[in-house]
């Protein structure tokens, strides 16, 4: 665990360092831009700050994040690259001030996401300039150059994000949810929309108003797609991507409202043995049985299939002792449940459970996740099929 945390820290630091170097080098060209270019910069900074604030305050934020991705690509087309870098940094700084979470922005990974956008933007802008130079003799060279630029921007962003999630989840690169063909298709669709916005704005900035209706229609279209992108296909629970994009928001709300927030890690015991002995179809049945029990037990709380045989529950507002009681109730229900296999045989499964709470055990979301994970390993080391909760050592 410590090794993977070190690798993850190194990866994040590397991305941030590269983005800072790119931004510093680009900043040397800022004095060469005309007043009208700076006015365009001010307008798009305002738009992106507004979207970031909406993302922070509204529950249904996945669609807004996709629209943010569209707008970022539009800005990459509209503004010179040095201003694109400055806009990313400035919009993050201003939105964090408005959202009152400037001090915790490293915890909620906003800096990493901006770094990924800047790095991807540099690669895409380089391709844009190169392709446009090759086909400059064509009247529509600028428009044609946008196509490979969009592909590079999407692929680079997904590569950097997938690498991050692969290290964080400790799973193979090709098993990360971001490589799903549906995710790639939606990302390309949104970047294509961003290219349309950028192209229309360059043609005539006043025409941007006509895009309001298509934006509203696109948002409605993506409403159903949004739900599918964050649901695990086998269990019907939320997937890791949903957890990754929402956990910081729930933690910040708990801090702001001075409420309890608990994480429950639940690992199925010996799922691999079931897969090897009875086949993966029956293994999936066992997985689905546990997921159903969890879903029926948590009411308004959040249940996530973290990956493989791992589940995560995010419990808000309940005191730690009540969370431990809830975890024990789920453990007992799973232990008593009978799972009917394809051959008619009935088997039982068990889970090992770990619990950690804020503010009792942890002061940050990273600590909270780490201590809950540590607690579930304690449960495994004690023989499995028990609930363990993290306790601070008394000095």
Cβ contacts of 108 within 8 Å, gap of 6 or more: 101, 248, 249, 252, 365
What does the DSSP 8-state code read for residue 393? Answer: P
The answer to whether residues 351 and 339 touch, using CB atoms and an 8 Å cutoff, is: no
Name all contacts of 57-62 with Cβ < 8 Å and 24+ positions apart: 57/99, 60/226, 61/245, 61/249, 62/226, 62/229, 62/230, 62/245
Residue 102: which pLDDT band, with cuts at 50, 70 and 90? Answer: very low
Which has the minimum average pLDDT: 112-126, 143-157, 189-203, 258-272? 189-203
Question: Which residues make Cβ contacts (< 8 Å) with residue 4, sequence separation at least 6?
Answer: 167, 168, 170
Distance, CA of 203 to CA of 34 (rounded, Å): 18
**Of 230-244, 277-291, 293-307, 352-366, which range is least confident?**
230-244
Band the pLDDT of 60: cuts 50, 70, 90. Answer: very low
Backbone dihedral region for residue 112 (phi beyond 0: left; psi -120 to 50: alpha; all else: beta):
alpha
| pLDDT at residue 83 greater than cutoff 70 | yes
Q: Which domains does the chain have, with CATH numbers?
A: 2-229 (no CATH), 240-389 (3.30.70.270)
Assess whether pLDDT exceeds 80 at residue 98: no
Give residue-wise pLDDT tens across range 344-377. 899 999 999 999 999 999 988 889 999 999 999 9
CB 311 within 8 A of CB 290: yes
Which has the higher per-residue pLDDT, 98 or 30? 30
Q: Which of 380, 310, 314, 315 is nearest to 352 (CA)?
A: 380
Half-sphere exposure of 40 (CA within 13 A, CB side): 21
Average pLDDT over residues 149-171: 86
pLDDT grade, residue 4 (50/70/90)? low
Task: Write the pLDDT tens digit of every residue in 209-239.
Answer: 676 666 666 666 665 555 666 888 889 899 9
Q: How many CB atoms lie within 10 A of CB 284?
A: 15
Return d(Cα 236, Cα 303) in angstroms, integer. Answer: 10
pLDDT, position 226: 59
Residue 314, classed as helix, strand or coil, is strand
Q: Which of the pair, 190 or 319, is modelled with greater confidence?
A: 319
pLDDT for position 91: 87
The DSSP element (H or E) to which 376 belongs, if any, is: helix 365-381
Cα–Cα distance, 311 to 297 (Å, whole number): 13
Q: Is the pLDDT of residue 59 over 70?
A: no
297 vs 313: CA distance, rounded Å: 11
Name 182's Cβ contacts closer than 8 Å, sequence gap at least 6: 225, 228, 229
Residue 238 per-residue DSSP state: B
| pLDDT at residue 325, as a whole number | 96
First to last CA, the chain: 25
């Amino acid at each position: 665990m410590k090794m993977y945390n070190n690798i993850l820290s190194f990866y994040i630091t590397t991305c941030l360092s590269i983005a800072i170097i790119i931004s510093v080098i680009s900043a040397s060209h800022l004095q060469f831009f005309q007043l009208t270019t700076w006015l365009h910069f001010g307008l798009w900074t305002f738009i992106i700050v507004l979207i970031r604030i909406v993302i922070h305050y509204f529950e249904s934020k996945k669609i807004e994040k996709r629209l943010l991705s569209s707008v970022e690509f539009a800005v990459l087309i509209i503004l010179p690259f040095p201003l694109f870098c400055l806009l990313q940094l400035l919009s993050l700084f201003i939105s964090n001030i408005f959202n009152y979470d400037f001090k915790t922005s490293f915890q909620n990974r906003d800096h990493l996401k901006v770094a990924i956008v800047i790095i991807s933007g540099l690669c895409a802008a380089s391709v844009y300039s190169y392709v446009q130079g090759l086909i400059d003799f064509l009247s529509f060279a600028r428009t044609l150059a946008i196509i490979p630029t969009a592909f590079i921007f999407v692929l680079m962003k997904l590569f950097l994000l997938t690498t991050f999630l692969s290290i964080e989840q400790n799973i193979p690169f090709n098993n990360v949810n971001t490589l799903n063909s549906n995710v790639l298709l939606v990302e390309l669709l949104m970047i294509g929309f961003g290219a349309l916005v950028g192209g229309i704005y360059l043609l005539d900035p006043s025409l941007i108003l006509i895009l309001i209706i298509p934006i509203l229609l696109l948002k409605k279209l993506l409403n159903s797609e949004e739900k599918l992108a964050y649901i695990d296909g086998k269990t019907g629970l939320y997937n890791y991507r949903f957890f990754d994009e929402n956990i910081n928001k729930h933690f910040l709300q708990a801090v702001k409202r001075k409420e309890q927030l608990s994480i429950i890690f639940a690992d199925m015991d010996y799922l691999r043995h079931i897969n090897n002995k009875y086949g993966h179809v029956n293994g999936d049945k066992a997985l689905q049985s546990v997921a159903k029990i969890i879903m029926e037990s948590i009411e308004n709380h959040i249940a996530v299939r973290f990956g493989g045989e791992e589940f995560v529950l995010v419990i808000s507002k309940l005191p730690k002792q009540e969370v431990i009681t809830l975890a024990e109730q789920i453990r007992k229900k799973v232990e008593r449940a009978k799972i009917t296999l394809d051959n008619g045989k009935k088997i039982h499964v068990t889970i090992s459970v770990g619990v950690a709470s804020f503010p009792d055990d942890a002061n940050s979301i990273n600590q909270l996740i780490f201590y809950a994970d540590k607690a579930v390993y304690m449960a495994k080391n004690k023989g499995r099929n028990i609930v363990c909760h993290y306790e601070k050592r008394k000095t």
